[in-house]
């Protein structure tokens, strides 16, 4: 809408043009009309008629389900399903019917508190990290609404979402004795090779489910990680690994190579199709199992073995913890796990670094630099274990009983 302003002997028609997207200030255009008010009235009528009709921005739920999600055509299937879960289960039932231009920061704060207390399938509350992820998703959608000039500012920038506890938490793991007991218990099971491979490489569940026979190089005794299979919206989908560093090659020990060779011979006896592009692990119907099957087998087997309850993903933590405790360099462990940065690996497993505090205190007391240790006698770094993990001795692993030069620790003796 526009209005008429008189300044001394002159009239002006002032038209409101919304707000500046950067400063947030109102934008107005002044049309000079001369000394005649009738001329100003005519100009005002023309300005109002030329202005496009004001369109309602619609509700938050409608905007996110259509305009916002359609603006992201390159989303992976799993990410799109994640967004749909946020919208259909958490956002739409609570604030989805509020008009975009009526959403206030207090509405988003109320949503966060409701999700913390009553969110989730069992209505017992969502984790603060999940609630923050939902808030950021809404904020991203409202940013698009600002870009499309449906709203003037993004109210999410003034809201106060929960902040997850950033204090370091120790991952749940088994020691080597417990891991050895688990592998001994599961040896008769069909998918023992998959469990063994996970324990000896630390690969993720999706990476395990996505393995194909072409990924195994028996000549160089390496395993390539190139794809992942995940469950999204009740459907198993295959996709490339998430990041560049997730695509990696892992050295295998001779024990693991032997386990996979026996598994391949078993599939051949069952007349299963074995080709470079067929899945490495097949169920009794010779089909690729759902990734959930590995988790379910792991949970049942750990209960049967009477071991402490941990998740399937914690086999990955167990593998990494044994390497770090043996003195394998953090960079080597990080590359083996496919972490984005060695700093993340250090932050997660630094409590397991052997003897650092003791050696630090010893150096403070000594006025002169310590003499370098003899690599043939120093048990701390685990020289041969490091070399095996780094690939200089690809036929062995620091988790292998064949590594007779591994550190003399209880965790390694268990293997």
Residues 189 and 253 in one domain: yes
Rounded CA-CA distance 120/157 in Å is: 25
Are 29 and 84 contained in the same domain?
A: no
C-alpha pair distances (Å), 192 with each of 120, 283, 297, 351: 34, 12, 10, 30
Per residue in 267-286, pLDDT (tens digit) is 999 999 999 999 999 999 99
Integer Cα distance of 400 and 252 in angstroms: 10
Distance CA 36, CA 44 (A): 13
- CA atoms of 330 and 321, how far apart (whole Å): 11
For residue 146, the domain's CATH number is: 1.10.150.130
Residue 165 lies in a domain: no
Domain co-membership, 246 together with 278: yes
- Give the model's pLDDT for residue 380: 38
pLDDT at 364 over 60: no
Decide if 291 is inside a domain.
yes
Task: Let me know whether 185 and 259 are in one domain.
Answer: yes
Could you tell me if residue 166 is inside a domain? no
Which residues span the domain enclosing 29? Answer: 2-50
Per the domain annotation, does 26 fall within a domain? yes
Judge whether residue 116 has pLDDT over 70.
Answer: yes
Q: How confident is the model at residue 238 (pLDDT cuts 50, 70, 90)?
A: confident
CA distance 348 to 355: 17
Residue 362: helix, strand or coil by DSSP? helix
> Do residues 113 and 250 both lie within one domain?
no
User: Residue 341 sits in a domain of what CATH number?
Assistant: 1.10.443.10
In a domain, 68, yes or no: yes
Residue 30 lies in a domain: yes
pLDDT reported for residue 411: 35
Identify whether residues 287 and 345 lie together within a single domain: yes
Token digits for 379? 């048990």
- What is the separation, in whole angstroms, between the first and last Cα of the chain? 80
**pTM (predicted TM-score):** 0.66
What pLDDT sits at residue 169? 66
- pLDDT tens-digit map of 178-194: 999 999 999 999 999 99
Residues 76 and 141 grouped into a single domain: yes
Confidence check: pLDDT of 409 > 50: no
Alpha carbons within 13 A on the beta-carbon side of 157: 6
Domain edge (last residue) among 158, 182, 207: 158
* Number of domains forming the structure of the chain: 3
Shared-domain flag, residues 127 and 178: no
Q: Which of 136-145, 159-168, 397-406 has the highest mean pLDDT?
A: 136-145
């Amino acid at each position: 809408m526009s209005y008429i302003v008189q300044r001394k002997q002159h009239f002006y028609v002032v038209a409101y043009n919304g707000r500046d997207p950067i400063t947030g200030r109102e934008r107005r255009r002044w049309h000079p009309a001369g000394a005649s008010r009738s001329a100003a009235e005519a100009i005002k009528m023309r300005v109002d008629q030329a202005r496009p009709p004001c369109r309602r921005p619609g509700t938050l739920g409608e905007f996110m389900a259509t305009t916002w999600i359609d603006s992201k055509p390159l989303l992976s299937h799993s990410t799109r399903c994640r967004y749909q879960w946020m919208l259909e289960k958490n956002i739409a039932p609570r604030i989805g019917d509020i008009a975009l231009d009526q959403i206030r920061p207090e509405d988003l704060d109320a949503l966060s508190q409701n999700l913390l207390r009553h969110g989730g399938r069992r209505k017992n509350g969502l984790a603060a990290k999940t609630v923050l992820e939902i808030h950021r998703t809404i904020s991203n959608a409202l940013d698009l609404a600002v870009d499309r000039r449906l709203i003037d500012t993004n109210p999410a920038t003034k809201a106060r979402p929960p902040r997850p506890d950033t204090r370091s938490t120790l991952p749940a793991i088994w020691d080597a004795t417990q891991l050895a007991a688990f592998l001994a218990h599961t040896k008769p099971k069909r998918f023992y090779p998959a469990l063994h491979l996970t324990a000896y490489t630390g690969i993720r569940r999706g990476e395990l489910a996505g393995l194909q026979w072409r990924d195994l190089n028996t000549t160089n005794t390496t395993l390539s990680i190139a794809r992942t299979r995940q469950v999204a919206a009740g459907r198993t989908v295959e996709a490339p690994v998430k990041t560049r560093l997730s695509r990696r090659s892992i050295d295998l020990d001779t024990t693991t190579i032997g386990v996979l060779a026996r598994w391949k011979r078993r599939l051949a006896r069952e007349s299963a199709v074995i080709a470079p592009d067929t899945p490495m692990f097949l169920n009794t119907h010779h089909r690729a199992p759902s990734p959930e099957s590995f988790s379910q087998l792991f949970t049942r087997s750990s209960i049967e073995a009477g071991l402490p309850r941990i998740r399937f993903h914690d086999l990955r933590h167990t593998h990494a913890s044994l390497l770090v405790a043996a003195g394998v360099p953090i960079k080597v462990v990080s590359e083996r796990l496919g972490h984005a940065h060695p700093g993340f690996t250090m932050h997660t497993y630094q409590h397991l670094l052997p003897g650092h505090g003791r050696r630090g205190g010893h150096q403070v007391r000594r006025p002169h630099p310590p003499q370098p240790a003899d690599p043939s006698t120093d048990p701390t770094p685990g020289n041969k274990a490091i070399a095996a993990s780094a690939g200089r001795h690809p036929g062995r692993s620091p988790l292998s009983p064949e590594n007779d030069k591994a550190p003399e620790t209880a965790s390694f003796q268990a293997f």
